[in-house]
Every structure is written in structure tokens, then in C-alpha cells.
Amino acid sequence: MALLVAAVILAFILGFAAHRASVCTVRAIAEIMSSRGASILASVGKSILWVGAVMIPVFGFLPAAGIGLAGWSLTGFAMLGGFLFGVGGAMNGGCAYSTMARFVDGDGKMVAAILGFAIGACCFAALVRWEWLKRPVPAKALVGSLVASTWAWIWLGVVAAALVAWALYEALRLWRTRPADKRLIDLILAPRYRLSTAAVLFGLSGATLTLMFGAVSYTSTFELVIEGSLGTRPWPSSTRTVVLVAVLAGMLFSTLQRRTFRIDWRPRRDWIPNLSGGVLMGLGTALAPGGNDALVLYGIPTLSPYAIPTAAALLFGVAAGLFTMRRLFGIEARVKCQDDVFIADSWSRPITPGGG
């Protein structure tokens, strides 16, 4: 029971931070393409480092915790899954993080995206049943092999020392640069979090959840819920389900406390890209497996064989989707960040000289 309560608290923090910082892989690529900035992408990288700063020292003291960690094989289908997820995220205007965050804000477009996700997962199950596709192949995470190696204590010591030193520096930097006139409660309930602050909360909560329960990404959990309802796979464990609900609860509490909850669930034609994008995200999650949350909080830090190439394919898919939307439909994504804080984004058709 104590572990379950801890899981709820950690997942709640993760969801709250994701909502307050507006972290999103699609926004990260859109920021690079529209303003040549990389604040959001840097925060994603910092999240991975924070996960490593927790996990690697633990593996150094408790090698058994790293040996035998589950991962996934690198296959063409895994990279295709990452690419499809990226393209779908671009069409939807948001990845796994922002889809759920905007859903709890009352954005009806995300209802369409979630419905599309379910359709995509159903399509995958059907294609597997017809033997047109194969399920992802399990493989041990490479960090387990490194932990078990003869020279493990050397590389673990060096990497752990470097990560811990960086984490201490980053934590001290964030504390020293906080607004001097704000109390701790004011910082916790700030309307917008710094992206680097969100990275701390993502990394610490995500790493602790992984060490306690293994991979519990909410994209994979939702995909298991869909397939469980179809009878093609077992239902996710109760812990994974609780984590998914707690992440959503953290996001919902954030939007209610910030008073940004606005219901807009009247179906419109402009929901079609979100529905279509959701289908690709659902199919991509099943193929990879997992979305960007699984890669950032588990796959890459544990050196799962598929993780880095699939993450690269996902980012390329986002860029390809945004470029295609710009070229074919004249829809341009603009993202503005300032002083390590996400300010705003917009998805609009450029205004040509003379109006129109």
C-alpha cells in the first residue's frame, strides 16, 4: 500500500509539472523551425539526464537492479512506429504530454485525438491478427549488460559522478535564479514552470517510478487498455492503471487551480487532423512500442536497443509532419519561449501581403 501511495504522488507530480511547463516534443521541433530556439528540446534532454542521475548511482550500489532490465529490440517496425508517432503528433499539434494536458483543459480536439489513438491501436491489433505485422520483440536493456561487465565499477563511477555533479549544479542554479520575492508555495503554484524545473520533476519522479515498478509510460498503458478491451492482450497491471490516472489527476488539478479549464467539446470539421493524427500516434505507439514519454523516461536512460534510433525517427517524423503541413496546407506552427519558459504557440495560415 505504501508503494502504491508513493506511485500516486510521483505520478501526480509528473502530470502537474507537465501541465505547468507545457512540455511537448512537437512544440520542441516547432520552436526550432519557427524561432531557431531549442529551449523545449533542451528541457527534454535535461529530463533524460535527471533520470540518469538517479538510476546510474542506484545501479552502482545495487547492480542487481540494472541486470535484467527489460527493453525492446531495434527493428525497422520500431523506427517506423517512432516516425508515425511523430507525424501524427505534428498533425495533432501535440505529443503524448500535451495531448493529455490539453484534454484535461477541456480541449475537444484532444478528445478526437484520443479516439484516433484508440482506432490506431485497434488497427495494429487487427494487422497482427492477420499476420501483416509482428509485435515488438523484447530485448534486455543494454545498461544491464554494462552493469554486469568486469569494468562496471569504473564506468558506473565515472558516469554517476558526472551526472550527480551536473544535477547538483543544475539544482543550485535553479534555486539561485528563482524569483527572490516568491515564497515556496508561490513557486509551486506558479502559473507557468520553467522548462528546466519541469525537467527536474520529470526526471526524479519518472526515475523513481521506474526503479519501483519498471516501465509505466502512460502511452503504452493506454494502448494496453485498448488491446485488453479487444481481448488481444492482457489488461495492464493495476499499478500502471493507477499511474495513468494519477498523471491525469495531476494535470486536472493544475488546470483547475490555475483556472484555465474551458470545455469546448462541440465537434467541428477542424477536428479531423487531430483524429487522423491520433490514429498515427496509436499505431506508432503499438509498433515502437511506447510514445515519447516511454523513450524519455525509460528507453533512452536504460539504453534500450530501440530507444535512440526510434527517438531520432520520432523527431524526424515531427519535422516532416510540420514541413508537410506548411507546404501543402499553409499551416505554420509558431512557438515562443523566453527565459526558459514556454510563452505561447499558434497554428495558423501565414498572412500574405495585401491580406487574405
Q: What is the pLDDT along the chain (356 residues), one digit of tens a residue?
A: 788 899 899 999 999 999 999 889 999 999 999 999 999 999 999 999 999 999 989 888 888 777 778 889 999 999 999 999 999 999 999 888 889 999 999 998 999 999 999 999 999 999 999 999 989 999 988 888 787 776 777 888 888 899 999 999 999 999 999 988 888 899 999 999 999 999 999 999 999 998 888 778 888 888 999 999 999 899 988 888 999 999 999 999 999 999 888 888 888 888 999 999 999 999 999 999 989 989 998 999 999 999 999 999 999 999 999 999 998 888 889 999 999 999 988 887 654 444 33
Q: 139: burial class by Cβ within 10 Å (0-12, 13-18, 19+)?
A: middle
Work out whether strand 332-338 and strand 341-348 pair parallel, antiparallel, or are unpaired. Answer: antiparallel
Q: How far apart are CA 284 and CA 133, in angstroms?
A: 12
The full length of the chain comes to 356
Q: Count how many Cα atoms sit within 13 Å of the Cα of residue 252 in the half-sphere of its side chain.
A: 8
- pTM score, whole prediction: 0.92
**Dihedral Cα 327, 96, 306, 209, nearest 10 deg:** 160
pLDDT at 173: 96
Centre a 10 Å sphere on the Cβ of residue 166 and count the other Cβ atoms it contains.
15
85 contacts 289 by C-beta, under 8 angstroms: no
Q: How far apart are CA 80 and CA 59, in angstroms?
A: 32
pLDDT at 349: 60
Q: String of b and e for 217-241 (b: at least 16 CB within 10 Å)?
A: bbbbbbbbbbbeeeebbeebeebbb
